[in-house]
Amino acid sequence: MAGKQRLDKILGHLGYGSRSELKKAVKLGLVTVNGRVATDSGMQVDAEKDAITFDGARVHYREFIYLMMNKPAGVISATEDTREGTVLDLLEPEYASFDPFPVGRLDKDTEGLLLLTNDGQLAHRLLSPKKHVPKTYYADVAGMVTEEDAAAFRRGVTLDDGYVTMPAELRVLEAKDGASRIELTIMEGKFHQVKRMFEAVGKKVVYLKRIAMGPLPLDETLPPGAVRELTSEELESLRMAPSDLGQARNG
């Protein structure tokens, strides 16, 4: 976000307070710009070039935020909903002030890895059908998942609406006593796709958790509902992955 903007807009965007709170902070002399005490919360500053401090601490400006959430069951992957709690309701104000949105969606009852960002370009790259970014899930399945099912998934299965899925990699972790534990990697993201794929082979998903998106695995130390910022290495891997995967699939 290059160029000059109002001081209170920049500080508000970074979560330092509301416009009225920032006006008070400026009146109290808590804000400096390039070493001088700010006298007007509406003054025009360039956040990328001017040195801003708030209550003695340097303000580090950034335009984008990249968050990993371990989505809990019971909340929906949306920015707002009049009846249901959303993943944004779980964010601290310091993150919510960036107006992030979920990259793709997980069903209400599905847990696991969800990316949130305000970087529309990266989100588009990760969600583009042309890129085929893989998504990996862990699932508990009612029924004995077999190698025949895995072979069917590798070929592509026909969903209830007639759509034939792209080849998917199904790994059976355990199958006994009429129940199975599996991991499944798919290259697309149709509505309720994992559940519908198992329905196509006569099985039912009873628990579902996304454990990876492209090269990014879920941080298993994150409790359900918790978020953390991506590391620079994780972010770089995501930026590289879509184009690499797209070329690999098309090559």
**Cα dihedral value 135, 206, 219, 62, nearest 10:** 70
Q: Which residues touch 48 (CB under 8 Å, ≥6 apart)?
A: 1, 2, 61
The alpha carbon of 30 is separated from its chain's Cα centroid by a whole number of angstroms, namely 35
- Annotated catalytic sites, by residue? 107
Distance, in Å, from the CA atom of 85 to the CA atom of 78, rounded to the nearest integer, reads 9
* Number of other residues whose CB lies within 10 A of the CB of residue 115: 23
* Number of other residues whose CB lies within 10 A of the CB of residue 75: 23
